[in-house]
Amino acid sequence: MFRDQIYIGGQWIRTDKSIEVYNPADGKVIGTVPKAGRIEAEQAVDAAAEAFGHWSGLTAQERGDLLRRWFERISEHTDELARIMTMEQGKPLKEAAGEIAYANSFVSWYAEEGKRIYGETIPASSNKKRIIVTKQPVGVVAAITPWNFPASMITRKVAPALAAGCTVVIKPSSETPFTAIKLVELAEQAGIPAGVINLVTGPSGEIAEAWQQDGRVRKLSFTGSTEVGKKLMAGAAANVKKISLELGGHAPFIVTAHADLEQAASGLIASKFRNGGQTCVCANRIYVEERVAEEFAECVARLASELKVGNGLQEGTDIGPLINEDAVDKVVKQIQDAKAKGGIVLTGGKKLPELGGRFVEPTVIMNATDDMACMQEETFGPLAPITTFTAIEEAIKRANNSPYGLAAYVFTQHLGEAVRIAEALDYGIVGVNDPVPSTAQAPFGGFKESGLGREGGHYGIDEFLEVKYISLGL
Ligand SMILES: NC(=O)C1=CN([C@@H]2O[C@H](COP(=O)(O)OP(=O)(O)OC[C@H]3O[C@@H](n4cnc5c(N)ncnc54)[C@H](OP(=O)(O)O)[C@@H]3O)[C@@H](O)[C@H]2O)C=CC1
Ligand SMILES: O=C(O)CCCC(=O)O
């Protein structure tokens, strides 16, 4: 179940040293993965560079057929993949199975979309010339993925890259490598040729540096913190690598007096507590129009108090553990800070060491103010701070007052109000009466320090293509 090998050029390999992987629900070691370094990172690029000629030379239909076979293998192994994910990442089993289906939707969607990489002809200014525009794969792609979505962050990068004709080297998070390894094993079984997908595990800094410095890697796609994203962006300048960054978020969630309050409250629960709050698009700051705030907050607190916290493998669990002790400390500090600044805890507020892992109660805080840490920093945990506003313009101004610009949410039944607020928000994704807007067909990505580029939809495949202009003299 927990394969302890990396995959380079179609070979499964072990290294002398290894890294332990823990189950965050009980702190126990579930297995080890190789502690690869610069040498293996370079070997992976050798393999990907060698495989590129053949892979990019296949037709889009041939690549699509192989991606479709990968999709089928993943579907058949959903239960096993979900179990691996719950054991290394913590999210409840039903949510892990949901993530596998979501991850696989990128594989099926890009298996088709690769066939629609269209070029263009442009009228020339001389009738002795023809202007032809084509698109071709960028080359070898490096994908560095985080622990919060161990499957979908792999497929959201790898499926469009492969469909475009690129080959890839992957470095999954050291906290959740086994889901990624299983996905790659299934790609091998699906017949994706040796060298097209390569995966190494090990210290992220060393592996990322090797790939940054290697001019054969023409594109780096990263999901993770803004802090690391900035370093990678600076490193990519060395050989002017293309780069996509999907970084931190600090999503505002605006509820107006025109909202259906029950719909808004259950929407907030879905957005805020998905993956225990460890999602870059999670609601992080909740702005509610004053005259409905009390009723809304009571409804949210009641729903949050009904969520069952526990080991994700147990039936009925809604919220699993946080990924590590640092994550627990960050949430607990934000709760303490909010209380010290006048926040009132409506439900939750404590960590739950008696459960034997890294668990924090789903927490709802009323009377939040903009000077609280939870209103300024990404929480990445189950804390919902609620503040009030009296004028919509004030809510928009406060919502936009952030270096982040990934996702934002608006709940209102007033159409004009919904459109005006959605248009005024400086965010790449706006969910209007929709707490979970992510989907394979749509562009996912942020403004400002939340990142660069888009994943998903036809935008997501463009990230792996170069535009070539051919000027044809007749
Ligand atoms: N946008 C998102 O989805 C995510 C946002 N975050 C935000 O970041 C905060 C901190 O979480 P954390 O896990 O520490 O986030 P990191 O950004 O440190 O880790 C995310 C990924 O980046 C890798 N990584 C870490 N350092 C480097 C580096 N120098 N070069 C290349 N890759 C690197 C990690 O690998 P390894 O695990 O092997 O070190 C992991 O795969 C969270 O609280 C949250 O706010 C975190 C994760 C995902
Ligand atoms: O970066 C993340 O948090 C993963 C994206 C989750 C999603 O696709 O909704």
Q: What is the pTM of this model?
A: 0.98
234 within ligand 1 shell (Cβ under 6 A): no
Give the tokens for residue 211.
């790939």
CA of 224 to the centre of ligand 1 (A): 4
pLDDT band for position 395 (cuts 50, 70, 90):
very high
88 lines ligand 1 (CB under 6 A): no
> Considering the chain, what is the average pLDDT of its residues?
98
Atom of ligand 2 nearest to the CA of 282: 3
Alpha carbon of 28 to ligand 2 centroid (Å): 26
Ligand 1 site-directed mutation target among 157, 228, 243, 329, most atoms within 8 Å of CB: 228
Tens digits of per-residue pLDDT, 8-62?
999 999 999 999 999 999 999 999 999 999 999 999 999 999 999 999 999 999 9
What tens digit of pLDDT does each residue of 179-202 get? 999 999 999 999 999 999 999 999
Would you say the CB of residue 4 lies under 6 angstroms from ligand 1? Answer: no
Pocket residue to mutate for ligand 2, from 225, 275, 278, 279, most atoms within 8 A of Cβ: 279
Would you state the structure tokens that stand for residue 324, as one six-digit string? 């590590």
Measured from the alpha carbon of residue 226, the closest ligand is 1
Token pair 């070997």 is found at 43
Our answer on whether the CB atom of 455 is closer than 6 Å to any ligand 1 atom is no
pLDDT digits (tens, 9 = 90+) for 238-290: 999 999 999 999 999 999 999 999 999 999 999 999 999 999 999 999 999 99
Lining ligand 2 with CB less than 6 A are: 148-149, 152, 223, 246, 279-281, 438, 444
Question: pLDDT of 347-386, one tens digit each?
Answer: 999 999 999 879 999 999 999 999 999 999 999 999 999 9
Residues annotated as part of the active site: 246, 280
Ligand 1 pocket, residue 229 CB under 6 Å: no
Closest atom of ligand 1 to CA, residue 247: 1
CA 115 to centroid of ligand 2, rounded, Å: 26
Instruction: Output phi, psi for 352, to 5 deg.
Output: -125, 70
